[in-house]
Amino acid sequence: MLPDAKTYDELVARFSWDIPEFYNIGQDVCDRWAEKKPDHLALTFVDEDGLTSDFTFGALRAQSNRLANLLAASGLACGDRVGLLLPQRPETAVAHIAVYKTGAIAVPLFTLFGPEALEYRLANSGARMVITDTEGARKLRTIRSRLPDLETVFTVDGQSDGTHDLHAGTHGQADAFTPVETRADDPALLIYTSGTTGPPKGALHAHRVLLGHLPGVEMSHDLFPQPGDKIWTPADWAWIGGLLDVLLPALHHGVPVVARRFEKFTGKAAFQLIQDHGVRNAFLPPTALKMMRSVPDAAERWSLDMRTVASGGETLGSELLKWGRDVLGVTINEFYGQTECNMIVSSCAALMPPRPGIMGRAVPGHDVAIVSDDGRRLGDGEHGHVAVKRPDPVMFLEYWDNPDATRDKFAGDWLLTGDTGMRDADGWIRFVGRDDDVITSSGYRIGPGEIEDCLIGHAAVRMAGVVGKPDADRTEIVKAFILLEDGVNPSPDLEREIQKWVRDRLAAHEYPREIEFVDELPLTATGKLIRNELRART
């Protein structure tokens, strides 16, 4: 969707949205390519034993059409919700495509959710059907009596108690299906936020959300696609990062996707997969990058030929950027967004050098600004809310069945992301922190990300989480929770050494006055640090 350009300013000047009145994600990412190049590779699935299976666009069309026919025959109607409780595997992609073609609404569900998390999302969405596997069906059996809207459960790995065998059901279905003629503004996807406070909220997205993602995906992958591109992410397709930053944009562009989500992610396994399958592009969340960074001599042990790596979720710093150039052979592009309005800020090494600690500039087509509490656009260098102006094709329609929360998300026409930041005169936006993550100490407002980045630059530190701890004299002090590298033992001397490391590299008011060494850090299912839990420990 991005025009040809040699500079960021030229890119912005030449960009314009092209959102048709009628648009269907399933037809776009599958049938469009199947008609032109049915034998073109769409997906490579790598199973737990390392065995691979390839799927062409022609195969995806036939399988998704059979499934769409099965869903329609089972009573699925336009606008109904379908839970998709599956990991990265071919049936997950097929199910998404089929649900969109029927005009129903996909509800992605993370396979590591427990019964209570599943019950809340399925009950809140009123899902009529779920497509899962036998492990997912086992969880559903414990809550199904409390889900009166849930009528049918399909399993992709054989029939189990109370489910229907999906493959047996699709076997006799026709491989032709006419997709419902959906408008670009019709709902397609209900994806629940992974917030750390309060119950999750269902962000309802229209079919146009995929088109809205494209400029940000293309920018964060240095003008994606390019010849030879092949993409992978360890992020689960149940999250917006895996689904709309990788799977669906890649299929839209005809770029092959490698499907492999490790039961337990390790840096070594990631390097091996990238090498073995010729992965050229990857979305690697900061946590994954940090785990890969801890693998010694990676550049000598694996032969990589990567073109781009994009990362988002937490601000990257100079340590990870330097490691990316040295080991991955690329400048990692940072992007920013959230479930409600994603891929709105990005860096792009192909057009402009990165600025460590600053997440990027507004992606063309998105009006991103720093605003006050009442939605007033603030000047350069002023601290305020990171906000996006509506209308915007990537912006959610509403919170499902929650008009109050939808209203509270906006200040006038500005969607408030819940993050704070600052913008400089060149339009670069620096993330400061979540509204409740900003540390106020001795009159200073301190963002934890920069301190965490500095901490992981120390040879003994694997991961770190930083929060403010209440203090009578300073309002708050900086406290760091630190996970040490294997073989490193905590000690008072090491604590003082780490404090000096930060004080010398950042500032006297930013070093952690208190350090607690821990065996693990609390993370969300998407790998983000849960600072609320750390604050509760202070």
Segments forming the whole domain that contains residue 507: 438-536
Residue 499's SS3 state is helix
Least confident of 17-31, 340-354, 438-452: 438-452
Nearest to 427 by CA among 371, 382, 360, 364: 360
Decide if 383 is inside a domain: no
Nearest to 25 by CA among 81, 99, 83, 87: 99
Mean pLDDT over residues 367-385, rounded?
97
Higher pLDDT, residue 454 or 367: 367
**Count of Cβ atoms closer than 10 Å to residue 7 Cβ:** 10
CATH code, domain carrying 137: 3.40.50.12780
- pLDDT surpassing 60 at residue 196: no
Phi/psi-derived region of residue 186, left when phi > 0, alpha when psi is between -120 and 50, beta in every other case:
beta
Decide if 512 is inside a domain: yes
Decide if 79 is inside a domain: yes
Q: State which of 182, 207, 232 marks the end of a domain.
A: 207
Nearest to 428 by CA among 510, 307, 336: 336
Q: State which of 177, 207, 237 marks the end of a domain.
A: 207
- pLDDT surpassing 50 at residue 17: yes
Say what the pLDDT of residue 197 is: 45
Decide if 146 is inside a domain: yes
The answer to whether 466 and 454 are in contact (CB under 8 A) is no
- pLDDT surpassing 70 at residue 53: yes
What would the pLDDT profile of 148-157 be if each residue is shown by its tens digit?
A: 999 999 999 9
Residue 481's SS3 state is strand
- pLDDT surpassing 60 at residue 507: yes
Say what the pLDDT of residue 527 is: 78
Say what the pLDDT of residue 198 is: 54
pLDDT grade for 447, boundaries at 50, 70 and 90? confident
Q: State which of 186, 207, 228 marks the end of a domain.
A: 207
Decide if 165 is inside a domain: yes
Amino acid, single-letter form, for residue 189: L
- Number of domains composing the chain: 2
- Give the CA distances from residue 356 to residues 59, 315, 328, 449, in Å, rounded to whole numbers and listed in that order: 43, 9, 17, 12
Residue 296's SS3 state is coil
Decide if 46 is inside a domain: yes
pLDDT grade for 194, boundaries at 50, 70 and 90? low
Decide if 66 is inside a domain: yes
Give CA–CA dist 201/185, Å, rounded: 20
**Residues 244, 203, 398, 184, CA torsion sign:** positive
What would the pLDDT profile of 400-414 be if each residue is shown by its tens digit?
A: 999 999 999 999 999
Decide if 104 is inside a domain: yes
CATH code, domain carrying 493: 3.30.300.30
